[in-house]
Chain A
């Protein structure tokens, strides 16, 4: 017993030694950024385990612009907001839509992109999309997103299948667990339609614009409430890369349309 306890004490002490206290830089010369890799092509993991994608490139470009030394911290989507508020990192660059609800727990930068949402389903399955046409049908949508809210508010007579991640909308759709998916018109949807399993599916109806950048919607960089110095710095950086062509280069690397949404 005594030996076991001593071993445990040593173990815990060794583990604790790994954690060092480090001071936060008030001038934001060092920034830790929460990212994920579940939303290609915005964020994905390459075979060597490194994260890449539009979000990662934009984050790096802003950091270079504002001359900050940035560290990317990998974080599962579900833990993003708690981790931000627990100061695990200083901002989130993970295609997070700016919503009234999220604004209660974080401040957002200006929108860095804004793309319409789209309906997706078996080709020709629905000729019109409205609450009456989808009555009793099962709609697949990512939970905790403005899209989920839109569906729950407007399609009250339909069943809703909430999935954890954007990529699962098309996975579930391909597996036949719903009648129609509602997702981003780029990202998962575009890649899915090009893949073999997406061959019999297509976009249905007209693209839907929820909120939009003009009404303070779109996708932004989340920061802890009250970090105004950081927010102004990031906004200035974003404005600069949008003006000097860096944003356009990154945009064109991934998409054939401009998603800046200004």
Chain B
């Protein structure tokens, strides 16, 4: 199948999934930190979060990736040469995952911020009035309820991120799209390979949409759904 290139493309798919899943985990961390910072009472935290989301959301992913991967490596090389450490390699996988996670963290910051604001303030205040600690209020009252509001935006970001993961090929990672591109060049059958990749992406995104809609339903148990 696929001129014998199916296993090679599936290997690429594994990398695509690894990059996407790890990037998502990192993006969630950045997103939660960013959202807490934006809603924090500290002016410095609010400002740094503002700079983060403005800068990252305003720059193309490709530019950031090249800046961090090559720029970062050249910077590290200069430092290493000056200190006499020899060559220190930034592995492309690490750079790719961190960059994509960092970028989508900025989008998730906004998603999470909106979702936290959607939880009525009175609920957190009631929790505090019952002598729960701030952490307890966050974990038991705010987070479970914000998930419901965060899922639609989160799903959007995840879908865009799976597709954006193809950018890692520019920094030397062999993801599915890169593999398909090489196979297309070698066999001169671009349509076959790009069609196959399109179908795989469509499967991935459809499964994601299904799973996330179940998650949303689970977190909306306490809320009545309007039937038309």
A residues in contact (CB < 8 Å) with B: 1-2, 4-5, 7-8, 11-12, 15-16, 18-24, 37-40, 44-49, 73-76, 78-79, 82-83, 85-88, 165, 167, 171, 191-192, 195, 197
- A47's partner among B7, B80, B93, B98 (CB-CB below 8 A) is B7
Mostly, the B contact residues are helix
Instruction: State A7–B24 Cα separation when bound (angstroms).
Output: 13
Q: Which A residues lie within 8 Å of B7 (CB)?
A: 47-49
B93–A18 touching, CB < 8 Å = yes
Mostly, the A contact residues are mixed
Q: Which A residues lie within 8 Å of B88 (CB)?
A: 19, 21
B25–A22 touching, CB < 8 Å = no
With an 8 Å Cβ cutoff, the count of chain B residues facing the other chain is 49
CB distance from A6 to the nearest CB of B (A): 10
Q: Which A residues lie within 8 Å of B86 (CB)?
A: 21-24
B residues in contact (CB < 8 Å) with A: 3-5, 7-8, 11, 22, 25-26, 28-29, 32, 36, 66, 69-70, 73-74, 77, 80, 85-91, 93-94, 97-98, 135, 138-139, 169-172, 174, 178-179, 181-186, 188, 190
B22–A45 touching, CB < 8 Å = no
B182–A44 touching, CB < 8 Å = yes
Number of A-B contacts (CB under 8 A): 123
- A38's partner among B77, B94, B170, B185 (CB-CB below 8 A) is B185
A38–B70 touching, CB < 8 Å = no
B172–A167 touching, CB < 8 Å = no
Instruction: State A44–B70 Cα separation when bound (angstroms).
Output: 25
Q: Which B residues lie within 8 Å of A82 (CB)?
A: 66, 70
Q: Which A residues lie within 8 Å of B97 (CB)?
A: 15
Q: Which A residues lie within 8 Å of B174 (CB)?
A: 49, 74
CB distance from A90 to the nearest CB of B (A): 10
B5–A47 touching, CB < 8 Å = yes
Instruction: State A87–B79 Cα separation when bound (angstroms).
Output: 13
Instruction: State A243–B10 Cα separation when bound (angstroms).
Output: 43
Instruction: State A41–B172 Cα separation when bound (angstroms).
Output: 21
